[in-house]
Amino acid sequence: MKKFLSALGAFLSRFYMIIIFIFLYAPIILLMVFSFNEGRSTSVFTGFSLRWYVELFHDSQIMDALYYTVLTAVVSSLVAAVVGTISAIGISRLKGWQRNSMVNVANLPIINPDILTGVSLMLLFILMKMPLGLGTMMIAHITFNIPYVILSVLPHMRQMDPHLYEAAMDLGASPSQAFFKVIIPELMPGIISGTLLAFTMSIDDFIISFFTTGNGISNLSIVVYSMAKRGIKPSINALSTIMFLTVLILLVVVNLIGKSGRKAKKPSRQPVRSLI
C-alpha cells in the first residue's frame, strides 16, 4: 500500500508539473506557430509563410521601438549593475538598524506599485523642468533597476569572508587590486544575475515607461499597447518569436559555459608525482 501511495504521489506531482508547463508555454507556442501564418488570423492557420518576418524588418515603428527598448535596457541594466554593486558593498558594511533601514529603503521601489513610481518620477521630472523623452525614461529605468541588483549582490556579500579584503591587502595587493581582483570575482554571480534581472525588467516595463517618456520615444510595450486599440499587427508575433528564441539560445549557451567551467574547476584525481 505504501508503494502504491508513493507511486501515485510521484505520478500526481509529475502530472501537475506537466500541466503547469503546458499552461505557461502553450500561449507562447501558439504565438510562434501563428507568426508563420499566411493570413492575419490568430485562430485559423491558412498556410505557411514568412510574410510577417519580412514586414517586421520594414516596419519603421516597430524597429524604432525595438531600438529604444534594447538601448534603454542595456544602458539602464549596466548602470544599475555598477551603482547597485557599490550600494550593496556599502550596505554590507553597516550594522544593526542602519543596515536594516537601508535594505528596507532599497526594497521600496520593488514593493511600490509601478503606477505610483511612474507618476512620482513624472512629477519629479516636471518639477525639475526636464523635457520628457529618452533621457527621462532611461533615468526611470535605472531607478527601478538598482534595487534588483542590490538584492542579488547582498546575499553574496553575506557569504563572503569579511576579512578577504584585508587578507589581500596583507599579501601585497593595492586597494584597487584587492577590490577588482578579489572582491568583484566573488560577487560576479550576483552581479550577473542582478544585471540580467534588471535587463529583463526593463524590457518588460510598460507603466513607468508610459509616464516618463515623451513624444516620438516609445518602447515595445507602449507600441503594443497602442496597437491593441486598433488591432495588433502579426509582425509583433514574429518579433516575439525572434526574442523568445534569442533568449532560449542565450540560456542554453550560458548553461553550457557554466557546465564546462565547473568541469574545468573539478580537481584532478590523478596521483601527484614527486618532482624530486
pLDDT top residue among 4 and 87:
87
Within 10 A of 55 (CB to CB), how many other CB atoms are there?
Answer: 14
- Over 129-140, what HEC string results? CCCCCHHHHHHH
Alpha-carbon span 146 to 125, nearest angstrom: 19
The CATH number covering residue 66 comes to 1.10.3720.10
> Does any domain span residue 266?
no
Average pLDDT score over residue span 85-94: 87
Split into its structural domains, the chain has a count of: 1
**Segments forming the whole domain that contains residue 158:** 60-230
What one-character-per-residue DSSP string does 210-223 give? Answer: HHH--TT---HHHH
> Does any domain span residue 260?
no
pLDDT(56) > 70: yes
pLDDT band at 13 (very low <50, low <70, confident <90, very high): confident
pLDDT(275) > 50: no
> Does any domain span residue 20?
no
Residues 141-162 have pLDDT tens digits of 999 999 999 988 988 888 887 7
> Does any domain span residue 179?
yes
pLDDT(273) > 50: no
> Does any domain span residue 12?
no
> Does any domain span residue 273?
no
> Does any domain span residue 52?
no
> Does any domain span residue 117?
yes
Sign of CA dihedral 167, 169, 173, 179: positive
What is the pLDDT of the chain when averaged over all its residues? Answer: 83
